[in-house]
Structure 1
Amino acid sequence: MALNLDDLGIRPAGLDAVRPFAVEGLDVRGRAVALGPVLESILDRHDYPEPVSRLLAEAIVLTSLLGTSLKFEGRFTLQTQTEGPVSMLVVDFASPDAIRACATFDADRVAALMKAGKASQEALLGNGHLAMTIDQGKHMQRYQGLVELDGISLEEVARRYFERSEQIPTEVRLSVGELFSRPEGAALTRSWTAGGILVQFLPEAPDRMRQADIDPGDAPEGTMSHEIEEDDAWVEAKLLVETVKDVELTDPEVSVEMLLFRLFHERGVRLYEPQPLADKCRCSREKIEEVLSNFSTQEMDDMTVDGRIVVTCEFCNTHYEFDNKRGH
């Protein structure tokens, strides 16, 4: 029998909303998201090659899951900097709901990988690092965590980050898909869809969260590594999340509530109010004028073409034009 959320008194969050949840029987908390129009809007304005769009989309999913966990007015930024064909990804979330993203890449190198059929996420990123930055405002100190990128996926990045920086056992699944449709008498159209789920083990007793020490890499030969047996509840939660199929995260017909019920109904899953997401850029004419006011006369002259300075926002592609030197 098909699951009917109405019978359970559950109103689906729908697309472009993060649904926080808790499974008290397993001492885990998490967040799940399904992205549609917001993702399509961001990717459509940039017209990146397909593998670059897919990679950026996965970064947007991860940022959505992490950024909406902020309990204050602030910003969460995910940024990669690598030597790979996609040298930089930037996804910026500003509470409570604004998300924007862009990518920097070498078109020739990406095209070469695509032609060879080797445009995997790991190959596109290459070696470098990923930074996760939390900005709590002007009067608060910023916090930044770094994760080395050495041929690992963004899913593995999230696991490493929480294991090493936060000491929180974490499991994450991310997926990106494409929907194709052909309205009668019209051309074939494509749209992007994506989803993700992040689960963390957060028992009340700190001892239950203990993890094995990270291998320092310089221990004497023959030294036994320090092993800590994982908690049974966390093992069960991880195994359940590992059963999630890509199509379950990208199919608009499978709501996050249906997915969470399928995974955790035997243990009891508690759903919290969804947190909507919106495609919003923070650029403005006033902010750019302020930036231009800090440039020297020579720098302003170097940027001037036919008496005008044109500035394009890398996130939203909005063009701003200014007269030379005074930004009016």
Structure 2
Amino acid sequence: MTAARSRSAKDEAQDDIVTAFQVDALDLRGRVVRLGSALDAVLAHHDYPASVKRVLGEAVALAVLLGSSLKFEGRFILQTQTDGPVDMVVADFVSPDKIRAYARFDKDAVAAAEQRNDTAPAVLLGRGHLAMTIDQGLSANRYQGVVALDGAGLEAAAHEYFQQSEQIPTRVRLAVGEEVRPGGKASSWRAGGLLAQFLPDDPSRARMADLAPGDAPEGTAPHRLDEDDAWAEARSLTATLEDVELLDKDLSSERLLYRLFHERGVRVFDPLAIGAHCSCSRERVAGVLASFTVEERRGMIQDDGKVTVTCEFCGRTYGFPAEEVLGHGDA
């Protein structure tokens, strides 16, 4: 984390940044993300319906909030697989500052949901699971956490993940909105998010009640623990955050945090700029093709004698002649 510096609560708002903060009096740490043109750049590669853009925007904001905490060069990959009209979402954050993402959806099912006016992101995702993967590269093992998506959306799934896997009291807020420009100009998209975590020096203060095991005898009382007063206050304050505040392009992250926590004193750290960037390249795609067997590669050759690969993230297409894919000895 970079060093904090004195800030005015009237600083001009910035887009495409993630800002870390700390409230010492509440043992609270967190981050705020504000995305504008970077989100537009992610969404521009595919012809997504507006409702799908909202789903993907939430995933991008959450991936930036979580991935920007990495203290090493690596990747944070957020992926959903569900039974909803949007059955897969992938958001890939490359530390320290690059994001790309895509969504797979059933066009007819999404259109039907739009006709019913039932297009909340949680509804379009449906039920399945959310996987969060930290990849430190070839020299280290991957870490992956998986949590159920039960129809309540990404915010609820993130809360469940931190309760089950990390045992850290956490609150996440996500908001995505479309800004319609006057004069028939193309609309733009914005996303915002806040992550707040209770991290006291004494870990016993952050203990949470055990989850129900699912096979307890009928009538067994659920495990309960008194909530720490500092976390109860922090949770109540974050609950006052409204979507419009996260999306307001004239409201800086500093002023937003000041509004929430000024009575307790909030320290704000230097923001990190976030950009949309796809890491695909001809060399990377060639490496992926080389991982298949000769017979599998031969089966990929099209009638024109080429293998064509399209990047799901950015839509860029790479063509390889058969002799390059197979090797001159196997062509």
1:320 is aligned with what amino acid?
Answer: Y
CA distance in 2, matches of 1:12, 1:273: 14
1:32 is aligned with what amino acid?
Answer: V
Q: CA RMSD in A?
A: 1.7
Give the equivalent residue in structure 1 for 2:224: 227
CA distance in 2, matches of 1:300, 1:217: 47
The answer to whether the aligner puts 1:264 opposite 2:250 as a matched pair is no
Q: How far has the Cα of 1:7 moved from its partner? A: 7.7
Give the equivalent residue in structure 1 for 2:39: 39
Name the SS for the 2:187 alignment partner: strand
The answer to whether the aligner puts 1:202 opposite 2:199 as a matched pair is yes
- Measured at CA, do residues 95 and 112 of structure 1 come closer, stay the same or move farther in structure 2, by a change above 3 Å? same
Segments of structure 1 that go 5 or more residues without pairing to the other structure are: 1-5
1:229 is aligned with what amino acid?
Answer: D
Q: How far has the Cα of 1:187 moved from its partner? A: 2.1
Q: How far has the Cα of 1:291 moved from its partner? A: 2.0
Encode CA deviations 1:104-148: one digit per residue, 9 max, x unaligned: 111111111111112222221122100000112212121111111
CA distance in 2, matches of 1:9, 1:176: 24
Q: How far has the Cα of 1:307 moved from its partner? A: 2.1
Q: How many residues align?
A: 320
TM-score, normalising length: structure 1: 0.93
Give the equivalent residue in structure 2 for 1:290: 287
- Measured at CA, do residues 7 and 140 of structure 1 come closer, stay the same or move farther in structure 2, by a change above 3 Å? closer
CA distance in 1, matches of 2:195, 2:12: 18
Name the SS for the 1:46 alignment partner: coil
Encode CA deviations 1:225-258: one digit per residue, 9 max, x unaligned: 2210101111111111110111000110111111
Mapping for residues 58-77 of structure 1, pairs under 5 Å: 58-77=58-77
Give the equivalent residue in structure 2 for 1:211: 208
1:232 is aligned with what amino acid?
Answer: D
Asked if 1 retains the 8 angstrom alpha-carbon contact of 2:9 and 2:254, the reply is no
Q: How far has the Cα of 1:305 moved from its partner? A: 3.4
| Counterpart pick for 2:308 among 273, 289, 310 | 310
CA distance in 2, matches of 1:43, 1:305: 32
The more displaced of 257-266 and 118-127 is 118-127
2:103 is aligned with what amino acid?
Answer: A
Q: How far has the Cα of 1:19 moved from its partner? A: 0.2
The more displaced of 303-312 and 38-47 is 303-312
Give the equivalent residue in structure 2 for 1:130: 130
Give the equivalent residue in structure 2 for 1:156: 156
Name the SS for the 1:45 alignment partner: coil
Asked if 2 retains the 8 angstrom alpha-carbon contact of 1:293 and 1:326, the reply is no
